[in-house]
Amino acid sequence: MKMDIEVSVEEKNRSRLRLLIIARLIIITLFFSVAIFIDIKKTGFPVSVSTLNFLYFLIAITYFFSIAYILLLKIFKDLIINIYIQLALDVLLVTLLVYITGSLRSNYSVLYTLIIIYSVIFLGRYGGLIIASAAGILYGLLLDFEFYELIPPISTIEHDYNLTAGDVFTRILVHIVSFYILAFLASFVVEQEKKARFLLQEKESAFNQLDLLFRSIVESVDTGIMTMNLQGRIKTFNRAAEEITGFPFTVLKDRPVADIFPEFTAFLTTGIIKKQIQNRMEVIVKGHNGQKIHLGCSISPLKEKQDKQIGSILIFQDLTEIKLMEETLEKSKRLALIGEMAAGLAHEMRNPLASIAGSIELLRQSLQLKDTDERLMQIILRGKDQLDNFVRDFLLLARPIPVTRELLDINEITVDVLENIKLSRDWTNKIEIRCSLNEKVTAFANREQIRQVIHNLTLNAIQAMQEGGVLSVGTKSMKHHGKEVVEIKVTDTGCGIEEKDLKIVFEPFFTNKDKGTGLGLTIVSRIIDGYGGRMEIESNMSKGTNCTVWLPIGKEIII
């Protein structure tokens, strides 16, 4: 951190040095303008031509040095050397200016003080004392040389009085003492300013680190965090909140919460939190893509140091997967109960049913039935078939996923099922079958159970198209959630399923048909879950239904 501060100070000194060069050019330009004005007026100004020539020369030299300073900054990277060179030349140029403008009578000796001040700014106390010493020496030598006529005077300004050696010495002493006093005072102020700046930079650095830590914590947690002001406008929205809802913060910033998440308005009343609903609640919101998201939320007041509320902070978590797991667990419990009941019921019913069925068949063969008796016999046989189907479905529902599996050709099983489905009582010639079977669609599963899945789905499809339609069956290998799977899709153009029924179609005994046990989709769901697969149903009333099954190719589980 200290190194960063030192780098910052050096950069600031470079910037100040550039400003010094620019300021020097501005000042010397003003001198140049004054010299030109005096040269034009000539009369009324006690300045000789030689003095003006010297002044022009001095101005030209200063311009030359200023350009040289800029080049030195690029050539010599050592900033201290550049500063000392500029300060030394500035002291020399001011001495020449004092000499040109009358030495003892010149008022431009005040420019030494400016050099001393900015020397302290750049070099500190010791640098300022060195420059003050240089300025005092050059100024004293100039006045002594001119007083003892070692150098000729340039200025033609008349003497108002005769100066003695004591007067010259006093003037030199006053200037030297003032130079040193100014260097000490300026260094004291500059050092205090540097200490204050250093402490301020340390505080800023510590604050920035604390702010960075706070932001890192907020952005790293997997919980959505949103803050709002008293007007209900969104002020912050962390990374987890963006991932959960799908909304980027750039879209939500300063927008009213009620416009984006109207479900959250139940937590607020005109910016003040309702105390009775501060505890955790669950809401369902719509994400950026329109999907429904289950959120567990809690809200708290956002306060400043004076304990005054300045807004609200809303914390929420995505409970969608948890809700799905709860639904799956509940369904598993129901299926487990049905399985236990089915196993017992099938055991109790199958043997008597087989005896009844066999006896009826023997009676039918030995009896010569008339028309009425024949119809009664057909009714008995249909009832026997219904009971037999019912018991078979119960056994399929209760039967565990078999351990014995093999690599199956899904296309072969699909074609076989479609050929057999044409022999069912629900088939009608008004139904058109369209197949889209990709090559080499295989899965590691039990043949009979996969056949049962495809059979139940296609049977439901043709039963939904009593007036005819199109039955589309497709298979393909693909990736689903990063896993290699087989997709089986069965689509019909039948009556469709109502939206309210889509959530309960997998429950046992649910059916909208006059006949059937209501266990077909339950059995399919049971088999698919056993393989760790997944199934989805999409339907529109009067347009048809689309059933999609994803089965893992190997033994891995999709979800």
DSSP code per residue over 118-141: HHHHHHHHHHHHHHHHHHHHHHHH
Residue type at 181?
I
How many Å separate Cα 56 from the centre of its chain?
64
Listed as own residue / partner, the contacts of 537-543 with beta carbons closer than 8 Å and 24 or more positions apart are 537/497, 537/502, 537/505, 539/496, 539/497, 539/499, 539/502, 540/496, 541/495, 541/496, 541/497, 541/498, 542/495, 542/496, 543/493, 543/496
How many Å separate Cα 240 from the centre of its chain?
8
**Adjacent-strand bridge partners of 487:** 476, 550
Strands 431-437 and 469-480 come out as: parallel
pLDDT(372) > 60: yes
Model confidence band, residue 474 (pLDDT cutoffs 50, 70, 90): very high
The pLDDT tens digits for 87-136 are 888 888 888 878 877 777 777 788 888 888 878 887 888 888 898 899 88
The pLDDT tens digits for 433-447 are 899 888 888 888 888
Taking Cα atoms as reference points, which of 160, 26, 180 lies closest to residue 102?
160
User: 307 or 429, which is more confident?
Assistant: 429
pLDDT(153) > 80: no
**What is the per-residue pLDDT for 472?**
92
Q: Give percent above pLDDT 70 in the chain.
A: 70
pLDDT(549) > 60: yes
User: 181 or 266, which is more confident?
Assistant: 181
Which are the contacts of 75, defined by CB distance < 8 A and separation ≥ 6?
Answer: none
Model confidence band, residue 298 (pLDDT cutoffs 50, 70, 90): confident
pLDDT(226) > 80: yes
The pLDDT tens digits for 13-44 are 667 667 777 766 676 677 656 656 655 555 44
Which are the contacts of 14, defined by CB distance < 8 A and separation ≥ 6?
Answer: 73, 79
Helix, strand, coil % over all residues of the chain, rounded to 5 = 60, 15, 25
Average pLDDT over residues 68-76: 65
pLDDT(489) > 90: yes
On whether the CB atoms of residues 153 and 146 are closer than 8 A, the answer is yes
pLDDT(3) > 60: no
**What is the per-residue pLDDT for 348?**
66
On whether the CB atoms of residues 533 and 552 are closer than 8 A, the answer is yes
Q: Would you state the structure tokens that stand for residue 86, as one six-digit string?
A: 């500029």
**Adjacent-strand bridge partners of 228:** 234, 312
User: 207 or 477, which is more confident?
Assistant: 477
User: 392 or 494, which is more confident?
Assistant: 494
Which are the contacts of 246, defined by CB distance < 8 A and separation ≥ 6?
Answer: 287, 288, 289, 291
User: Rounded CA gap, 559 and 482, in Å?
Assistant: 11
Q: Give percent above pLDDT 90 in the chain.
A: 3
What DSSP letter does each residue of 165-198 carry, written as one string? HHHHHHHHHHHHHHHHHHHHHHHHHHHHHHHHHH
What are the structural domains of the chain? 2-200 (no CATH), 221-318 (3.30.450.20), 323-399 (1.10.287), 404-552 (3.30.565.10)
**What is the per-residue pLDDT for 488?**
92
Please give the model's pTM, rounded to 2 decimal places. Answer: 0.41
User: Rounded CA gap, 24 and 90, in Å?
Assistant: 9
Average pLDDT over residues 342-363: 68
Q: Would you state the structure tokens that stand for residue 384, as one six-digit string?
A: 């026997």
Taking Cα atoms as reference points, which of 50, 131, 55, 137 lies closest to residue 97?
55
The pLDDT tens digits for 242-284 are 888 888 888 888 888 888 888 777 666 544 444 444 557 788 8
User: Rounded CA gap, 33 and 23, in Å?
Assistant: 15
